[in-house]
Homo-oligomer: A and B are copies of this chain.
Amino acid sequence: MTTIRVALLRGDELQTGDESLIDAWSADSDAKLWVDIQNPAHEIIEPLLEQRFGFHELAAEDSLSGTSLPKYDPFPTHDFFIFRAVDVNVTEHRSETYKLATFLGRNFLFTIHVDPLAAIEDVWSRLPADRRLLRNGPDFALYAVVDQIVDAHFPLLEQIEECVDDLQDRIFDSADSAHLDELLHLKRDVNVLRRHSLPQRELLNQISRGDAKFIQPQHLIYFRDIYDHMFRISETIDVDRDQMSGTMEAYLSVVANRTNEIMKVLTIFSAIMLPLTLIAGVYGMNFKQMPELFWPLGYLYAIGLMIGVAIVMILWFWQKGWITRSEKRRKRKE
């Protein structure tokens, strides 16, 4: 169900309410208006946005439907922005991005979104206490919202970084294909994040250069500040991607190393056991004429021969470096 709420600042008096406040705003050209619309329905919104405020049909549509990327469209009487609040749930491997469409005019701000947004809620609730938010102009309120949207990336990135580190450690412990699956999912989450953050960074760059007509010049530095944060975010994402690629490559090496170790064990076993079995086989032959069989110490001699061969083999592998103390120690750690 569509929810519309309106905040109106006249002089220093702040009123919040529903659509009806818009009329009061129309009457006073110095009044500042913020209209927040949640879960917009076409039949309710269209008369308000297109007919009453004269927003362009394409922009109005964009504020309704789902998946557009961050962008900026200038219009004669207002600026139209789409921002994206990104939320990647790394533990459950689901990523959600929430669209925020905004129309910014000289003395009004529309924020339109489907789901409730923490950033909107927070700034809205600060309105009564912090008059500056609307008094400085609706673009300052927009700044406050976008600032929160962007800064919400940081805890997320930290979470991802921890995830990658943890995965890396676990892979060195035991290279399991479940880890691989996790890594691929994490990679996709980060790719989704990146796909949205690059246009958002570009959008903020545009704004902070002063391209948007209804952002007042003295507020550009605030958007420049957000841009710097967004820049850092996308840099961090790239470092994470790089780290994940390295982890992927490392995974293969860890598995190969393990195969190597397994092969060594097999080879050492076979190389020791096969000759001994041969010796036993030889003295199990049924030839009538086999002098050793009749030696009184023949049995001891055979056992001794086996032990001798085993020792030679072990020494050989020792000298090849396949059996080492350090290897044993490492094994113990695993």
Contacts and interface: CB of A to CB of B under 8 A. Distances in A.
A239 interface: yes
Contact of A320 (B199, B236, B334): B334
Contacts of A225: 58, 62
A247 B71 CA distance: 31
A250 B244 CA distance: 12
B284 A254 contact: no
A278 B267 contact: no
A255 interface: yes
Contact of A286 (B62, B177, B290, B320): B290
A225 B235 CA distance: 26
Contact of A285 (B242, B257, B273, B302): B302
A18 to B, nearest CB: 31
Contacts of A67: 232
Interface residues of A, number: 97
A263 B334 CA distance: 19
A162 interface: no
B228 A69 contact: yes
A98 interface: no
Query: Do most interface residues of chain A lie in helix, strand or loop, or is the interface mixed?
Result: helix
A207 to B, nearest CB: 15
A195 interface: yes
Contact of A288 (B180, B250, B271, B298): B298
A248 interface: yes
B283 A285 contact: yes
A262 interface: yes
B269 A269 contact: no
A293 B298 contact: no
Interface in A122-144: none
Given A192-B239, A262-B263, A321 B174 contact: yes
A26 interface: no
A98 to B, nearest CB: 16
A243 B186 CA distance: 11
Interface in A146-183: 168, 172, 174-178, 180-181, 183
9 contacts: A68-B228, A191-B239, A195-B238, A199-B235, A248-B253, A253-B255, A269-B271, A273-B274, A287-B299
